[in-house]
């Protein structure tokens, strides 16, 4: 049985970016090659939908399978972790950084290649001032390519 999406995304306007890279950087501290969130389509206290555009000149392309580059799974997890950070830091007004403290039940179900857009979903399953746990999924062209549970703690 194919896994279900975390929540219904049929009402999300994928032509309207709610937060661009500059707005994301006002919340998340990631910069340069390590800022992987390119935009956010939708964010509330409970759910978020964002994206990462996989560029042909990304730092990993030349070396992660020369001749057939595929996005490293650890970077898919990092994109999801940055979305969890954004969701949490919006609620934690006194925190400046959400440290990644765990990834559970991670599965990679497909490949992500340069030129594709990775859409990431996050659903908060447990939020406390010292810990946030979110279920996350990644999609490419509507196909689930990644899922996992991300835990973060304010540092």
Residue 9 counted as domain residue = no
22, 42, 52, 64: which is the annotated catalytic residue? 64
Q: Quote the pLDDT of residue 1.
A: 62
Residue 99 lies in a domain: yes
Q: Residues of the chain whose pLDDT is less than 50?
A: none
pLDDT of 17: 98
State the residue range of the domain holding 29.
21-154
- Residue 7: count of CB within 10 angstroms of its CB: 16
In a domain, residue 55? The reply is yes
pLDDT on residue 93: 79
- 40 falls within a domain: yes
At 31, which CATH number? 3.10.129.10
Domain count, the chain: 1
10 Å CB burial of residue 52 (0-12, 13-18, 19+) is: buried
List helix spans (H) across the chain: 21-25, 73-91
Provide the sign of the torsion angle of the four alpha carbons 57, 60, 62, 67, taken in this order: negative
pLDDT tens digits for 70-110? 999 999 999 999 999 999 999 887 888 899 999 999 999 99
Is 65 part of a structural domain of the chain?
yes
So what's the pLDDT on residue 155?
Answer: 87
Buried/exposed 58-95: b ≥16 CB within 10 Å, e otherwise: bebbeeeeeeebbbbbebbbbbbbbbbbbbbbeebeeb
Residue 13 lies in a domain: no
User: Does any domain span residue 61?
Assistant: yes
> 81 in a domain, yes or no?
yes
d(CA 119, CA 141): 8
Q: Is there a catalytic annotation at residue 64?
A: yes
């Amino acid at each position: 049985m194919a896994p279900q999406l975390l929540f219904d995304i049929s009402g999300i306007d994928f032509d309207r970016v709610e937060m661009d890279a500059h707005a994301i950087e006002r919340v998340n501290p990631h910069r340069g090659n390590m800022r992987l969130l390119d935009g956010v389509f939708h964010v509330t206290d409970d759910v978020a939908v964002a994206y990462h555009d996989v560029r042909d000149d990304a730092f990993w392309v030349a070396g992660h399978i020369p001749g057939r580059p595929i996005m490293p799974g650890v970077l898919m997890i990092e994109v999801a972790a940055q979305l969890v950070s954004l969701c949490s830091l919006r609620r934690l007004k006194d925190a400046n950084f959400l440290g990644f403290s765990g990834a559970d039940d991670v599965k990679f179900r497909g490949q992500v290649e340069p030129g594709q857009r990775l859409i990431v979903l996050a659903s908060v399953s447990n939020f406390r001032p010292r810990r946030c746990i979110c279920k996350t999924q990644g999609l490419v062209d509507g196909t689930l390519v990644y899922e996992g549970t991300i835990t973060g703690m304010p540092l």
